[in-house]
């Protein structure tokens, strides 16, 4: 049994095939994949919902398999939010901004981002505004020619989340 930190966000990029045997994204698409688990037990969460919003428009939902794995393809050239949810757990949201201009060479590559999420059991009431705020944000960085997470943003969110949990526990 593996235990992930509550805000684990992993970024995996490249052109290599995935060891999990998943398909590669069509050109001009970005594959987002990962594992959803229970933050408290560390167990993989089967049937957790991963809902995709592209440019603020609700899109498809996928559900995790028995190992907690999911995979979705999203278009390059758009901003995406993934909302992770499961019954009895607080939802989490991640934002992936693929709207920045990519050169032709970058567009021909197969881009993959691994996003592992740990959902916290809903033992205390937390504000919707907090739960609907992305826990992490990744974006295409043209100068670096890669997608990168905004680490300082995630750290600020973690502090805000911890404070909200602490305050909710006092009520």
Instruction: For 19-74, give the DSSP string.
Output: TT-PPPPPTTEEEEEEEEEETTT--B-TT-EEEEEETTEEEEEEE--TTSEEEEEE
What are the tens digits of pLDDT across the range 68-93?
A: 999 999 999 999 999 999 999 999 99
Q: Of 85, 26, 87, give the one whose Cα is nearest residue 51.
A: 85
Q: Which residue did the predictor score with more confidence, 11 or 133?
A: 133
Domain residue ranges in the chain = 29-170
Q: Which residue did the predictor score with more confidence, 17 or 26?
A: 26
The distance from CA 73 to its chain's CA centroid, rounded to whole angstroms, is 13
- Please, where are the H alpha helices in 17-145? 104-108, 128-131
Sign, Cα dihedral of 36, 2, 161, 13: negative
Q: Which helix (H) or strand (E) holds 73?
A: strand 69-75
pLDDT bracket for residue 28 (50, 70, 90)? confident
Among 25-29, 67-71, 104-108, the range with the most confident prediction by mean pLDDT is 67-71
CATH class of 29-170: mainly beta
Q: Of 75, 73, 72, give the one whose Cα is nearest residue 55.
A: 75
What are the tens digits of pLDDT across the range 136-156?
A: 999 999 888 999 999 999 999
Mean pLDDT of the chain: 85
Q: What is the mean pLDDT of residues 88-104?
A: 93
pTM of the entire structure? 0.82
Q: Which residue did the predictor score with more confidence, 114 or 22?
A: 114
Quote the percentage of the chain above a pLDDT of 70. 84
């Amino acid at each position: 049994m593996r235990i992930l930190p509550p805000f684990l966000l992993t970024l995996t990029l490249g052109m290599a095939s995935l060891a999990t045997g998943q398909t590669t994204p069509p050109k001009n698409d970005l594959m987002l994949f990962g594992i959803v688990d229970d933050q408290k037990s560390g167990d993989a969460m089967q049937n957790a919902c991963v809902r995709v919003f592209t440019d603020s428009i609700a899109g498809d939902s996928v559900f995790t398999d028995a190992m907690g794995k999911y995979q979705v393809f999203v278009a390059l050239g758009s901003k995406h939010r993934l909302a992770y949810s499961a019954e009895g757990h607080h939802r989490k949201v991640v934002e992936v901004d693929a709207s920045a201009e990519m050169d032709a060479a970058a567009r021909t590559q197969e881009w993959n981002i691994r996003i592992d999420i740990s959902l916290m059991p809903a033992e205390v009431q937390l504000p919707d505004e907090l739960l609907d705020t992305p826990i992490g944000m990744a974006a295409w960085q043209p100068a670096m020619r890669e997608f990168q997470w905004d680490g300082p943003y995630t750290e600020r969110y973690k502090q805000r989340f911890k404070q909200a949990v602490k305050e909710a526990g006092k009520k």
